Amino acid sequence: MKIAHTIDEVKTLVKEWKKEGLSIGLVPTMGYLHEGHASLIERARKENDKVIVSDFVNPIQFGPKEDLATYPRDFEADCKLCESIGADLIFNPEPSEMYENNFHSYVGVNTLSEGLCGKSRPIHFNGVCTVVSKLFNISEADRAYFGQKDAQQLAIVKRMVRDLNFNIEIIGCPIIREESGLAKSSRNTYLSDEERSKATILHKALEMGKKMIEDGEKDASKVIDAVKNMIESEPLARVDYVEIVDWNELQKVNTIGGPILMAIAVFFGEKVRLIDNFIME
Ligand code: AMP
């Protein structure tokens, strides 16, 4: 497996691969890799001749009060994991390599970025779309793999690719969970043992919400209230949002009919914010 820190190194390799007619799969990550990331890399490995994993904590998707400085990092462990799955290249640029001093170009997707996590993280998705666009151009990938764990991100990236005619296929991959039901996340490392066990309430509450809908509940507000109440029964948890939106435009729905996303964000303690969701087609 090759390690690249510069855009030119990646482009040189990609040029060789393209000349040989090889297909390329890209897995964009912020590192501190776990089984969730591994599932994306494994899928990319199966479906492409070459696999690139980007490992970059993207500063422009963090707000001024967010955890950019403390975001967990372990590049050596990331390399080992990628190599064990058979990735061909890990791209780990410095922020200055991706963003020159006079960087002025941003990509954004309106409407879909405004609700859910976009409400409390107003610049986040523009940062994501910008870095992802750069990675698509640098890697010339045929396919890129994103987790449903970040469902709003997945919907936004898919829409961006469609709206702006990027030549890439976006593949959504299922949420990988711990045995307790807690969705795997690099940020779980911030949780104390007690918070970690209490955080299983997110998945439990979502499962209950899903069952209500499966049992015929069509009133979104009833499902939302039940899920909110269950999470709020846990004193360590503070709800940021619990919402049901349509899975195309990510707009709130009152009556559940077509495909929906039920998404939640919950604070544990002062600074840990966990997200989880389910999609019902
Ligand atoms: P991140 O490093 O958190 O930016 O995540 C990189 C990619 O891995 C994103 O597409 C995430 O949605 C995906 N991902 C993170 N956690 C999980 C998980 N538990 N299951 C599936 N995919 C995940």
Pocket lining: 150 vs ligand 1, CB cutoff 6 Å: yes
Q: Are residues 24 and 88 in the same domain?
A: yes
Report the C-alpha dihedral over residues 276, 29, 170, 16, rounded to 10 degrees.
-170
Any domain includes 280: no
Residue 270 in this model has a pLDDT that exceeds 80 = no
Ligand 1, atom nearest to 149 Cα: 12
Any domain includes 279: no
Q: Are residues 27 and 80 in the same domain?
A: yes
Ligand 1, atom nearest to 30 Cα: 2
Q: How many domains does the chain have?
A: 2
The whole-number pLDDT of residue 269 equals: 78
pLDDT tens by residue, 158-204: 999 999 999 999 999 999 999 999 999 999 999 999 999 999 999 99
Length of the chain (residues): 281
> How is residue 8 annotated by DSSP?
H
Any domain includes 178: no
Any domain includes 253: yes
What is the C-alpha to C-alpha distance for residues 113 and 94, in angstroms, rounded to an integer? 27
Query: What mean pLDDT is reported for the chain?
Result: 97
Please report, for the domain that includes residue 76, its CATH number: 3.40.50.620
* Ligand 1 midpoint to CA 150 (Å): 7
Of 173, 204, 239, the position where a domain reaches its end is: 173
Give the residue from 183, 155, 147, 145 showing the smallest Cα distance to 265: 183
What is the C-alpha to C-alpha distance for residues 52 and 95, in angstroms, rounded to an integer? 18
Q: Are residues 112 and 8 in the same domain?
A: yes
pLDDT tens by residue, 1-37: 999 999 999 999 999 999 999 999 999 999 999 999 9
Any domain includes 225: yes
Pocket lining: 209 vs ligand 1, CB cutoff 6 Å: no
What average pLDDT does range 239-247 have in this prediction?
Answer: 97
pLDDT tens by residue, 87-119: 999 999 999 999 999 999 999 999 999 999 999
Q: Are residues 220 and 103 in the same domain?
A: no
Give the residue from 228, 267, 220, 265 showing the smallest Cα distance to 244: 220
Any domain includes 66: yes
Band the pLDDT of 271: cuts 50, 70, 90: confident
The whole-number pLDDT of residue 217 equals: 97
Of 173, 207, 225, the position where a domain reaches its end is: 173
* Ligand 1 midpoint to CA 215 (Å): 30
Pocket lining: 29 vs ligand 1, CB cutoff 6 Å: yes
Distances (CA, A) of 21 to 49, 50, 91, 170, 175: 9, 11, 21, 20, 32
Query: Range of 25's domain?
Result: 2-173
Of 148, 173, 198, the position where a domain reaches its end is: 173
Please report, for the domain that includes residue 202, its CATH number: 3.30.1300.10
Any domain includes 127: yes
